[in-house]
Structure 1
Amino acid sequence: MRLTNGYKTSSEVWRSDATAVVEKLHKQLYAQQAESFARIRASIQKFTPSGSQTMPKREFERMLGGAGLFLTSQEQNALLRTLTGSTEITDVPVTAFMSALRVPLSPERFSLVSHLWESFGCEDSIPRGDFVARFVPTRHPRQRSGELSPEEVMRRFEASLDELGCQTDVSKDDFFGFFQELSACTPVEKEAVFENVVVSCFGLERKFTEVTATRLHKIMVQTYDKLRMLAPPLRAEVILPTRKHFYHKDSDERGSLDLQQFGDFLTGIGVRLPFHELRALFLAFAGEERGRVEFNAFHTILRELNAAPHRVRLTGSGRLALATGIGAGGGAGQSGAVPSSVFEKIRHHLLERSANGFGALSSSVRNADKGRKGYASPSEFRWVIREMGVTSLGEADIDRLISTFDVTQDGRVRIWDFKAAVRGDASLAPVREQALYDVWTALTGDPSAESVPISAVADVYDPSLLPKVKNQSWTHEQAVKDLLGFLGEETAIGEVNRASLFDFILDQSAAIPQDAHFLAYIERAFRLAGGAANN
């Protein structure tokens, strides 16, 4: 009975808690690469008395452990209360537990599976041989990503049919039961995985759902972001991982990719899409008439994206906005551009009031994004502002910043792009950008090297022309300590990657307005040929 004051009854609370517990089990199954309840069934047989439909409660936790699953005592109680309808639990109903795990298919997944069933042209059952013959393991998303071999994919597929008792025929109930278990092991946020199994593995012809321009733009941004994560944060660098992964999938060496190769390329960089979105993205790059994505066409659009989220331009009104690089339908800064005065306030604070200069900005961003995802939640972004000690910004200013750097308007604020905007990376003078590569080449002897020993950096670093050292705010030793502290874990492991060193130098660049002074600092700091230290 529902209470009239808006509160829920105890049983309603149990049910809502139990739903979250089942979702947790589903995600654990996905993490195990499971596509059925095989391990759970095996563990139940081990811990359930022969022929019994119940399991002693004390064995329930052991059964979960045997299947590689874990629930807290509180979570177990919430689930079991819902299954039994009682707070006094001695035995667990096995059938009810398995039924709770096998949740109904979502409307979208049910429609897809129904379409597949209809494609076999049968009413009540299909021969197992026909079902197996349609299944192509090399198209399975886990095989394409290298997680499973084709043989293992096929073995698991047939083992699932064996468990369902489908020795000669697959009934309609078992057919849907098979996909219900696959669905339960595939969280809703992994929709692309489920759809690719149904569509690709079984060669299903289906009507393609229209993909809006806004959604297509978001997918392009996501693709670009994945490539950025594989490269140092300079625009000239993003082409390197793009070329590497693109041509790795170009098995026929044509300089272009077909639909399957393009899908493999996206999977390889961590972008998994439902088939209709993959096809829409493919056509956006390839066009209906060509049938292949050419590298140059792909690169051209990426280059436009590369000029977008992390590059900030001045509009005619003197206000800062993000250049989207993509036509209508997307981009940031459209719901309230950020006045240039906001960035000036942050820069002024970092230069005049922060003991660590732009290092305080970098330190705050790194601490808010320790997993290097490239984004933070709005609350984490506000923490970054507080951590820097910037008190001159109003709530309206911070809201504009959040809106601008939440490019896809999904609650993910691109704090590394925010940092680049504050530093002015987009307007970095060519001579400064070239200086970065000169430093890297001088330290490594190989401009394509990915890392350098920390000793090679620390032993040559001479910060005597750094403004804070020149004005005696810092000693030479403090400046060296700042470098090593900035590099953090890399200092501890003894290897520095290019992106981190460039990030450090860009912080110094932001604090030195004159190109000549910056070049003098960089030449001495890293003992470049012709530098002050070599004169």
Structure 2
Amino acid sequence: MDWKFHYGELVNKVKYQLHAKGLDVITAIYDYYQSFDIDGSGQLDKVEFENFLRKVGMFLTTQELTVVFKHFDLNQDKQIHYKEFVEALRADFPDKRVAVVRYAFQSLDRSGAGALSLADLVANFRAAAHPRVKLREKQEDRVLAEFEAGLSLRADGDVVSEAAFLEFYADVSACLPAEKDEYFVDMVLDTWGLVSTQRVSELEDILYEKVRQRTHGADDEGKTAARVFRHFDKDESGSVSFEEFNQVLEAYGC
């Protein structure tokens, strides 16, 4: 087999092994990587890199190792600097993953300011909902600490822009193989307590159907919805609170 045409598959295997080792963010890989830098140069030669891969559970043939090494050795100096390794892993950030991260940020950024507080993000991050915690593979406090450490590297002081938020999740994505798209999406949504856009669309359809079913005679759906809205708008403010809206959904059986 001509492995030069299959480096993508081999790199994906590297990501699979990193994930299997519980390395969920780029920063968590650093200690592993540095421990094989025998001469302290900040980079690994081919032998050191092979030992690193074996440490994370990946055993390659000589030909496979050559292909993977060349892929990560971006400047072709026969050494792989940690930054090169990270850059190569982060190169592929699938659109599906990018979309859910943007959705999460925009959902959290209710004011539309384009920036969020690092402290607020850490306070609101639901580490208990992380799949590693739910599967009892990691403790909640460890997941939270990894999140804070990783996001802090991308933040500007206490300010986290949308770009910084995306950069952090690009780091997270870099440790996940291609077949883990749904894992990534669920992780982002669950740890921020969000509902997918697909589910929101489904709820809209259900609510519309419930309104249609309650519309009779000369009324139309708009009048029916307005009547229900006024019923739950107790203070006649022209808007309903989250609790009031929840009552609307319950009244319609949603």
TM-score grouping bracket, smaller chain normalisation: 0.5 to 0.7
Q: Quote the residue 1:146 is aligned against.
A: 136
Equivalent runs, 1:92-107 vs 2, <5 Å: 92-107=80-95
Contact 1:57 1:90 in 2 (8 A): yes
Q: Quote the residue 1:195 is aligned against.
A: 185
Equivalent runs, 1:44-83 vs 2, <5 Å: 44-46=33-35, 47=37, 52=41, 54-66=43-55, 68-72=56-60, 73-83=62-72
C-alpha displacement of 1:112: 0.9
Q: Which has the higher contact order (CA 8 A, sep 6+)?
A: 2
Contact 1:43 1:64 in 2 (8 A): no
C-alpha displacement of 1:206: 4.1
C-alpha displacement of 1:84: 4.3
Could you tell me how far apart the structure 1 residues matched to 2:27 and 2:77 are? 26
Contact 2:44 2:81 in 1 (8 A): yes
Deviations, residues 53-81 of structure 1 (Å, cap 9, x unaligned): 64333322233345x24241322210222
Could you tell me how far apart the structure 1 residues matched to 2:48 and 2:174 are? 24
Q: How many residues align?
A: 199
Q: Quote the residue 2:243 is aligned against.
A: none
2:101 to 113, 119, 140: 113
If the length of structure 1 is used for normalisation, what is the TM-score? 0.33
Could you tell me how far apart the structure 2 residues matched to 1:176 and 1:49 are? 34
C-alpha displacement of 1:138: 2.1
Structure 1 residue identity aligned to 2:15? H
1:147 partner SS: coil
Could you tell me how far apart the structure 1 residues matched to 2:116 and 2:153 are? 17
Structure 1 residue identity aligned to 2:197? K
Structure 2 residue identity aligned to 1:103? A
Structure 2 residue identity aligned to 1:201? T
Structure with a larger share of its residues in helix: 2
Could you tell me how far apart the structure 2 residues matched to 1:58 and 1:106 are? 31
Could you tell me how far apart the structure 2 residues matched to 1:48 and 1:164 are? 29
Q: Quote the residue 1:425 is aligned against.
A: none
In structure 2, the gaps of 5 or more residues are 203-251
2:194 to 191, 199, 204: 204
Residues 140/84 of structure 1: CA separation in 2 closer, same or farther (3 Å cut): closer
1:208 partner SS: helix
Question: Rg larger in 1 or in 2?
Answer: 1
C-alpha displacement of 1:41: 1.4
Deviations, residues 336-369 of structure 1 (Å, cap 9, x unaligned): xxxxxxxxxxxxxxxxxxxxxxxxxxxxxxxxxx
Structure 2 residue identity aligned to 1:91? Q
Equivalent runs, 1:50-449 vs 2, <5 Å: 52=41, 54-66=43-55, 68-72=56-60, 73-84=62-73, 90-121=78-109, 125-162=115-152, 164=154, 168-208=158-198, 289=253
Could you tell me how far apart the structure 2 residues matched to 1:154 and 1:148 are? 10
Structure 2 residue identity aligned to 1:21? L
Structure 1 residue identity aligned to 2:166? F
C-alpha displacement of 1:36: 0.9
Contact 1:124 1:171 in 2 (8 A): yes
- Asked if 1:19 corresponds to 2:8, the answer is yes
C-alpha displacement of 1:107: 1.7
Q: Quote the residue 1:35 is aligned against.
A: 24
Could you tell me how far apart the structure 2 residues matched to 1:111 and 1:141 are? 20
Identity of aligned residues (%): 25
C-alpha displacement of 1:192: 3.3
Equivalent runs, 1:495-514 vs 2, <5 Å: none
C-alpha displacement of 1:137: 1.6
Deviations, residues 92-114 of structure 1 (Å, cap 9, x unaligned): 24322211111332222111111
Residues 49/166 of structure 1: CA separation in 2 closer, same or farther (3 Å cut): farther
Could you tell me how far apart the structure 1 residues matched to 2:131 and 2:73 are? 38
In structure 1, the gaps of 5 or more residues are 1-9, 212-287, 292-535
1:126 partner SS: strand
Contact 1:137 1:143 in 2 (8 A): yes
Deviations, residues 275-316 of structure 1 (Å, cap 9, x unaligned): xxxxxxxxxxxxx82x6xxxxxxxxxxxxxxxxxxxxxxxxx
